[in-house]
Amino acid sequence: MEKLSYVGKSLPRKDALIKVTGAAQYADDREFAGLLHAAAVRSPRPRIKILSISDTAARRVPGYVTLVTYKDIKGVNKWPVVLQDYPFLPEKEARFAGETVALVVAGTARAARKAAALVEVKYKELPFLEDPLKALEKGALKIYGKDNIFSSFVIKRGSVDEAFKKAAFTVEGEFSTNYQVHAYLETQGAIALPEAGGGMTVHSTTQCPFYVLDAVAAALGIPYHKVKILQTVTGGGFGGKEDVPALVASHAALCAAKTGRPVKLIYGRKEDFQSMSKRHPGWARVAYAADKNGKLTACRVKYVLDGGAYSTLSPIVLWRGTVHAAGPYKIANVDIKTYAAATNKVPCGAFRGFGQPQVCFAQESLIDELAEKVGMDPVQFRLRNILEPGDKTVTGQKLNSSCGLKEIIQTVRKRSGWDKKIGDRESGIGNQGDIVTGIGFSVTYYGVGLGAKGRYLDRAGALVNIYKDSSVGVNVGNTEMGQGALTVLAQIAAETLNAPYESVRVEEVDSSKVPDSGPTVASRTTLMSGNAIIEAATPIRERIFKTACDMLISMGAGASQKMTAHGGLFYMGGKTVDFKRVVAECWFRRHKMSEQGWYAAPRTTFKMEDGQGDAYVIYSYSADAAEVEVDLKTGVARVKKIWAAYDVGKIVNPRLAVAQAQGGLLQGMSWALYENLVYKNGIMVNPNFTDYVMATTADKPEYDITFIEKPYAEGPYKAKGMGEVPLIGVAPAVANAIKNACGARVNSVPLLPEKIWNELKKI
């Protein structure tokens, strides 16, 4: 076993003190001389033809400065994200209620908001679409291309029709899931500062600083080297600060370019709800076939995502959902067809799980139905069919040894007391009057990183610099947004250099210090930036270790003896020297104490035409069991406890890993039971925390969390990634528990009391 000083230890968060004391500077905390404020003028209807925009009334507001429209865009009026169909500001047509059609700049935030409310937008209402399934119909109104399809994918393997004909058991069902709002505590925001020579510096709350760089350069029509993006302390993301901060920052930059002064643009909660990305609503029809022994033989899926008015990240989100649509099972015959449809609603994008939770809800609910039909225990049915090392996924990818699916299922089965509880439930033991209790299970796998569809973005850079006082500065291109990246990456740097953990500082991203490192998404930060840090630190490490050895020999240690290093100290022959003294000697010898690192994910072989080949380099895995109470009189469900086990490779920081798991479980449970964003006639009717209900600490279930470490040889200290894995399987585990408790199968998320109650009436 490798002896590690820092990796694998629950070291304190690097950003804990500034956050708990209120010292952290978020975007809205930053002030600059001559600062102006911007506010958005938004489309009032789902789809409009813009006839004119007038600021006549707005000019009477004290402090009013100017109005910014598409006419002020010096660059190309196309936000550079995937399909590039989203204008920075619309010229003739706005396509969803809440879309920014213009911006007002004023001396104060209050004045800017007041003036924006007085800007008159004359428009003509246009026909609109709000149902993604209707958008795919042949005779539907066309709002995007020839067919309202942003993107579509297929996975074809074997002979599906033949397998269904020969099957001993088949099941089929339709399932749907609603939006999920990211509900980050800090709303979207950016500050843009004009620089001498026509440059622009932007302070942005963001997951993806280089997306912001792309957009600001495009909107202003200036070269990249004149744009600098500085990530501010980011108050939560979960995917909601992947793409859309680039739009917010570009709007701030347009205002700053026009006025020649710094401009701050901070969203209110309502407009953040109305205009920023969400988890895609999903619809899926799934069918499975099994032989008489309970072995899965075929799967057929049609999966549709509601992309909203513009494509943004929908093609990438859809692709991930496509790859995982059949579940983590051995299935020889597969036919998967998926679509991202255009509607005149808020554009949807990244959210923890990235297109997978929606279809996972369908597949894992249906797996329970098939197990019942076969006459097998749901966990035993999964064990009979799950992927193991050496097996191939539905894309034909052979899994390597870093696959702990079987172990995590067995762990959750044992720790939850599954066998006894299932038996008790079937015999009616444990239920009290109108309150009944059930237990449900789910299992998932998750491709770490961007995979074949995003391979051109799947890279990361790092800059490691050791100063004369032996403090270590690390710059990376991936961000901290609450998940603990600054801490985990500091542990990796400290481990590689044998530097004291306290001496290492990982900075928020500065786009001028590191190359474009892709987005901070897809549970890729530990893997990608961790490997980049190791590459940068390794040559410095060699110089440090050689110098330490020389110093120890000069102190009297025998040259033939082996030097060891641990916890910031170097040992040889009974002599010891610390990191600080060694670094001082390195500087005296004029060694190079700064290096850059770069890591690019290995190539994948996936073919888009048939969905066959290696989709991801490596996978992480989860298994969940949920114990749920249901009130038979009201349909109200309450999650009492969740048992979860994960294989995410080596755990770098156990305490942070548990925190990630707890957060993901609660977020998944909240989506499963409570979160219900409502649209009526193309208008969002509950864009606030009063009417959009989420789980609170009062709803938190008891957790039982286990990690099974299956090392990934190519990962930093054998780690994979886990940020998104905890959320994905929660909703089907809860739905299966409800079915087990009271017999009601609800096929749509959220699993609201009225839905459960209506299903109970049918029994």
Please write down the HEC assignment for all residues of 334-379.
EEEEEEEEECCCCCCCCCCCCCHHHHHHHHHHHHHHHHHHHCCCHH
Give the tens place of pLDDT for each residue, 354-402: 999 999 999 999 999 999 999 999 999 999 999 999 999 999 999 988 9
**Whole-number average pLDDT of the chain:** 96
Question: How many Å apart are CA 742 and CA 638, to the nearest integer?
Answer: 13
Q: Return the percentage of the chain with pLDDT > 70, whole number.
A: 99
Q: What is the mean pLDDT of residues 493-502?
A: 98
Number of domains in the chain: 3
Give the tens place of pLDDT for each residue, 62-111: 999 999 999 999 999 999 999 999 999 999 999 999 999 999 999 999 99
Last residue of a domain, one of 569, 600, 631: 600
Are 534 and 660 found together in one domain? no
Supply 425's token pair: 């439930």
The CATH number assigned to the domain holding 103 equals 3.30.365.10
Question: How many Å apart are CA 551 and CA 570, to the nearest integer?
Answer: 10
**Beta strand segments in 415-500, E:** 435-447, 459-466, 472-476
Are 493 and 563 found together in one domain? yes
Last residue of a domain, one of 249, 275, 301: 275
Per the domain annotation, does 448 fall within a domain?
Answer: yes
pLDDT category of residue 455 using cuts at 50, 70 and 90 = confident
Are 290 and 340 found together in one domain? yes
Q: What is the pLDDT of residue 40?
A: 98
Per the domain annotation, does 3 fall within a domain?
Answer: no
Are 539 and 653 found together in one domain? no
Last residue of a domain, one of 275, 297, 314: 275
Is the confidence at residue 552, as pLDDT, over 70?
yes
Give the tens place of pLDDT for each residue, 594-626: 999 999 998 899 999 999 999 999 999 999 999
Per the domain annotation, does 168 fall within a domain?
Answer: no
Q: Return the percentage of the chain with pLDDT > 90, whole number.
A: 94
Give the tens place of pLDDT for each residue, 259-316: 999 999 999 999 999 999 999 999 999 999 999 999 999 999 999 999 999 999 999 9
Q: What is the pLDDT of residue 429?
A: 55
Phi, psi of 489, deg, nearest 5? -70, -35
- Which of 470, 407, 429, 498 has its CA nearest to residue 708? 407
Are 431 and 484 found together in one domain? no
Are 416 and 495 found together in one domain? no
Are 490 and 542 found together in one domain? yes
pLDDT category of residue 522 using cuts at 50, 70 and 90 = confident
Are 569 and 665 found together in one domain? no
Are 484 and 517 found together in one domain? yes
Q: What is the mean pLDDT of residues 497-505?
A: 98
Instruction: Find residue 628's DSSP bridge partners.
Output: 438, 639
Per the domain annotation, does 704 fall within a domain?
Answer: yes
Are 550 and 651 found together in one domain? no
Cα distances from 121 to residues 45, 55, 124, 611, 684, in angstroms, run 11, 9, 10, 46, 20
Per the domain annotation, does 393 fall within a domain?
Answer: yes
pLDDT category of residue 2 using cuts at 50, 70 and 90 = low
DSSP 73: -
Question: How many Å apart are CA 355 and CA 280, to the nearest integer?
Answer: 7
Q: What is the mean pLDDT of residues 2-7?
A: 89
Are 445 and 464 found together in one domain? no
Per the domain annotation, does 743 fall within a domain?
Answer: yes
Range of the domain at 663: 282-452+607-762
- Which of 282, 291, 293 has its CA nearest to residue 320? 282
Residue located via tokens 């002599």: 575
Is the confidence at residue 715, as pLDDT, over 80?
yes
Q: What is the pLDDT of residue 453?
A: 86
Is the confidence at residue 177, as pLDDT, over 80?
yes
Alpha helices in 464-504 (DSSP H): 485-497
Q: What is the pLDDT of residue 1?
A: 44
Q: What is the mean pLDDT of residues 235-247?
A: 97
Q: Is 108 helix (H, G, I), strand (E, B) or coil?
A: coil
Per the domain annotation, does 14 fall within a domain?
Answer: no
Per the domain annotation, does 38 fall within a domain?
Answer: yes
Is the confidence at residue 426, as pLDDT, over 70?
no
Q: What is the mean pLDDT of residues 26-50?
A: 98
- Which residues are CB-contacts of 728 (< 8 A; sequence separation ≥ 6)? 353, 356, 357, 360, 444, 446, 622, 668
Q: What is the mean pLDDT of residues 315-342?
A: 98
Are 581 and 612 found together in one domain? no
Q: What is the mean pLDDT of residues 523-544?
A: 95
